[in-house]
Amino acid sequence: MKLKSIETITGTIRILTGLHVGGNKDNIEIGGMDQPIIKNPLNGEPYIPGSSIKGKMRSLIELGLFAKQDQTMEYLNRGEPCGCGKADCVVCRIFGSSSSKNRSDDLGPTRIIVRDAYLTDTFKKKFESGELPMEEKYENTINRINGTAKDPRQLERVPAGVEFELNISFKVFDNDPEKPEDLINYVFKGLRFIELDALGGHSSRGCGQVEFSKLKRTGSPLPEDFLKSLKI
């Protein structure tokens, strides 16, 4: 197994509806937010963990493209990510397998690295100058008998319109049975799935709609409608 190249996928993540990726509740202050977002502890800047993007991509790809694959379905039926570890499993090759017991020697290392997404320069400057406040969304439960609201809670969100930097690396090996573009296309399909679904928590209540724009593959710009043109 020889490493042929490392491809990069870069672009912009634009928040269309308030984004909530949960932070540490142990640090909640008196009078503070019930459900804070994750932030850089050094400067309080919001960011999107790479694990959140990668995990959502993987789960949607498994459900959308490989649910009929017996070895994957076995894990999905238990509510787990595929861990078959077989060399012919596209999911395990791209995203990795946590099962060392089942892992094939031919599987190789995880192909994808999804880096933490930080604010673009424009929004970083706004945050540093105090012009980018986080959104406070109030939610409650409706009493089914009298229709009154109860159990009010505060949800912190990154407001719509904010942009983050997308940065993904992808390893290409000489023993991959697929062509590099075919394998990398699964990553783009994963991004498209996220656009159609959501990122972060509370998506069923309107949070986390995003779009990916200004995409480049190893420095070469892709058409603006590239993701929408993919068949998934």
Q: What is the pLDDT, as a whole number, of residue 158?
A: 97
Question: pLDDT tens across 51-101, in order?
Answer: 999 999 999 999 998 877 787 888 888 888 888 888 888 899 899 887 656
Question: pLDDT tens-digit profile of 109-134?
Answer: 899 999 999 999 999 999 999 999 99
Tell me how far apart the alpha carbons of residues 164 and 157 are, in angstroms, rounded to a whole number.
Answer: 14
CB 56 within 8 A of CB 194: yes
DSSP string, 137-177: EEEEEE-TTT--EEEEEEEEEBPTT-EEEEEEEEEEETT-S
* pLDDT given at position 30: 47
pLDDT in tens, 137-165: 887 788 788 877 777 788 999 999 999 99
Q: Are 133 and 14 in contact (CB under 8 A)?
A: no
Burial 180-213 (b: 16+ CB within 10 A, else e): eeebbebbbbbbbbbeebbbbbbbeeebbbbebe
Per-domain boundaries in the chain: 3-26+33-63+108-227
Radius of gyration of the chain (CA): 20
